[in-house]
Structure 1
Amino acid sequence: MLPPRSVLITGASRGLGLEFVKQFLQVPTPPEFLFATCRNPDNAKELQEVAKSSSSITIMKLDVSEMNTIEEAKKLVESKVGAGGLNLLINNAGINKKVTLETVTPDMMLDTFNINVNGPLFTTKAFLPLLLQAAESSTPINPSSAVVNISTIVASIALNESTTYLEYRVSKAFLPLLLQAARSSTPSNPSSAIVNMSSIMSSIARTVTSDAVEYRVSKSALNMLTKILHNELKDKGIHVGCLHPGWVQTDMGTAKAPVTVSQSVCGCIQVMSNMNAENACVLTDYTGNPLPW
């Protein structure tokens, strides 16, 4: 992918989202516009400190479960990027309640699906006009417009040998509506790329435990969505991929995780920079290694 002029990251107040903000400032060609969004900007103290180091950062309120905040953020982004549009949307915001079959409730499943599935869907839908503007200079080798959805290996059907993270695994399957982005594509000139950030916990083949029910289910749904999008868009020049950021040392991953936030995000950015038609619709980890669905 070409170096993006503009990047928008959801869930940027901590963890992977915050690290994406930090590392995009360090790439050889940093974005001119770096939009860091979160539910409560006033409480995002560390993000505010990072923003002091660069005039390219704009902190915005965006709660993926509230359409009015998505629309307001879209208006602000549009006013800043102009005709150049939005090059890269990273749907990072998500939740994981880590429940089991015994403890999961209907409300837990609905909440997880709303944030992990509806959130990326309707955020992408709102910013689609700006993504399409940026896609006008795309080529099969170097797409200039992309959507990256953060998922998990716990969503892998092939690696799934447990019954945990139910709502999380399933919710990620509802993104097919993102097909709207394909309308201006051609086989030789893709107008957008979609990379779903998944997880090894979504893998059916590798799931051997029964924990994290809602999380596993929603992320598995995201993997299915990735395949559906690929089937629909492969002849229209749109890249569709799926990324597992690893078990990362965040609030969700806990301090027991073996991968640092910096290592994960650095790897993810490298994988995204190498997006092309040959590696479409593959569940890949942050090091570029393919994983079973």
Structure 2
Amino acid sequence: MKTDNLTNILEFHLMSFSEDPDLQPVLIGLFLSMYLVTVLGNLLIILAVSSDSHLHTPMYFFLSNLSLADICFTSTTVPRMIVDISAHSRVISFVGCLSQMSVLLMFGCMDGMLLTVMAYDRFLAICHPLHYVVIMNPRLCVFLLLVCVFISLLDSQLHNLVALQFTCFRDVEIANFFCHPSQLFSLSCSDTLIKNLVTYLVGAILGFFPISAIIFSYCKIVSSILKISSSSGRYKACSTCSSHLSVVCLFYGTAIGEYLGSAVSYSPRKGMVASLMYTVVTPMLNPFIYSLRNRDITSALKRLQRFKV
């Protein structure tokens, strides 16, 4: 490891999962399979929602956009990782690193924002059912989507602006399979005040507030469900939230787990596994969660299959 300050950095070195040449084909096959399952699964969700008029509702409108964000989120890291493994190369240019970080942050933030909006949608549907259709009109849905896009763009560009101010680095080794923002920032030998301020401020805005909004929404939802007298009504209300809540726990659970794990005792290998969970595994599982636990999606996929046949 180099300890001298490095200026005019043109490239970084990413961390590999294994240096064993016999394991390379296995890793390529595994990650390629996971990537294809992710893309095909999320494309099926988008196709089912767009082709079935029964699913032209706010909840499925946001779900289809979540699936699109998941495809883009995974495509930012996995294809390059497969190419790097097959080419036995760990080098990424400085411009490429910033570009990857920017796109990754944008679609990662989009995931979090859309999950928050979907929680708000479920809150209105269960707690204010009589006003739901009036409040969640198409104009509001498009507006909320644009807000998600704007906040995500702002987040990624803020990180990029801070990264562009770095003039020297302590090392060129990034301890992950992609340009992780926090690890790239930690390599800088520039003033830490600004980068720490941006990191914690953005983390608070895009982490604390969405999670707080989701928790608040589900507290209200649970309170409303408990007031429903019939067991069938309670079951129906719970079934509309179970898929979304599962995805929220999976997405934020893995992200928070990585953060807490790095804060307590950071290990590069453990950090890579945690990053793999929320960048690859979570987007891959989302279509299964929504298709297996949602009758509307299952029915739409069956109708789509019959139509193709």
Smaller-chain TM-score bracket: 0.3 to 0.5
Q: How does the TM-score come out when normalised to structure 2?
A: 0.31
Larger Rg computed on CA atoms = 2
Per residue, is there more helix in 1 or in 2? 2
Q: How does the TM-score come out when normalised to structure 1?
A: 0.32
Higher relative contact order (CA 8 A, sep 6+): 2
Per residue, is there more strand in 1 or in 2? 1
